Structure 1
Amino acid sequence: MPRRKALKTGSRTRGRGHKKGRGAGLRGGRGNAGCHKTKRIMYERVGRVWGAHGFKRPQTVVMANNAINLKVIEENASEWIEQGNASKKGKTISIDLKKMGYDKLLGTGVPSQAYNITISAASAKAVEKVEAAGGEIVNG
């Protein structure tokens, strides 16, 4: 405590000088007292939000899915063959999306060729479209 404050403690008004300054009544209570009544307007003007909002999901429940669409596979298949991430056997292109860091295959896009895709999860539409094109999805 600074010297000046220390000297004032023990006196009635503690440096305020008037009867008003004796307690916390002059400042509307101590700390955040009265935030739902007296000091509410201050919070509204400043834009601060009072109270708890929502909740945080446990990290054990939250799973980050790295998904990929059929359209992206269709666009990048030739590049992946050149890079060695995919291989072509006859008319079928084999792609291991699990190795490439993808978790789920989604069905946006139309496959023009037969794909043999290895991935841990796929939507029903994606499976339907790949099989209609003559390919298959292997759970890996």
Structure 2
Amino acid sequence: MVVRRAKKSRKMRGHRTMGWGAKGQHRDRGKEGGRQIGMGKEKWSWVVKYGKDWYGKHGFVNPTSYTKAVITLRQLSNLLDNGKIEIESKDGKNVVDLTKYGYEKLLGSGNVNMPIIIKIAEASEKAKQKIMKIGGQVISPEK
């Protein structure tokens, strides 16, 4: 390859367009469009292939917000029936440690059909009442 010793950028300093003609030429990235023009028309195939979320509202997530990992009694009974959460037997009582599965709070919608002792950081009053009613117990570890 030939080395270009007298570079145009060095030669044309002080000249407004550096030899590229009209003022705006050779600044943007060509026909791609510097301001995302034509995404709904001539560049639609690019949007379909690469820009799945190009259109529409995308929302805002507050960086200081915190969501707890909650589980309802209905979800708990389904997971127990499917065997995804194991029941441990201690002193003849069924014990489920939900903190081991990453849950932080137990909510009271739904029902559980067997008396179990549940270990979880927090539980709603409704959930505690339903568990106590069938002979179970909710234990929160000390913080």
TM tier relative to shorter chain:
0.5 to 0.7
Partner residue in 1 for 2:98: 97
- Is 1:66–2:69 an aligned residue pair? yes
Unaligned runs of 5+ in 2: 1-5, 29-34, 41-53
Q: 1:134 to 1:14 in 2, by over 3 A?
A: same
Rounded to whole Å, the distance in 2 between the matches of 1:94 and 1:55 is: 37
- Structure 1 residue 107, shift from structure 2 partner: 2.2
Superposition TM-score, scaled by structure 1 size: 0.56
Q: How does 1:17-56 map to 2 (within 5 A)?
A: 17=21, 21=22, 26-27=23-24, 42-43=35-36, 45-46=38-39, 54=60, 56=62
Deviation, structure 1 residue 12: 5.2
8 A Cα contact 2:8 2:18, kept in partner:
no
Percentage identity across paired residues of the two chains: 29
Indicate yes or no: 2:11 matched with 1:7.
yes
Cα distance change of structure 1 residues 3 and 137 upon mapping to structure 2, 3 Å threshold: same
1:120 matched residue in structure 2: 121
Cα contact 2:72–2:110 (8 A) shared by 1? yes
Ranges in structure 1 where 5+ consecutive residues have no aligned partner: 32-41
User: Does 1:57 find its partner at 2:57?
Assistant: no
The normalised TM-score by structure 2 is 0.55
- Decide whether the 8 Å contact of 2:114 with 2:134 is kept in 1: yes
What amino acid does structure 2 have at the position aligned with 1:105? L
Q: Give the 3-state SS of the residue equivalent to 1:114 in structure 2.
A: coil
What's 1:35 paired with? none
* In structure 1, C-alpha distance between the alignment counterparts of 2:133 and 2:60, rounded to whole Å: 44
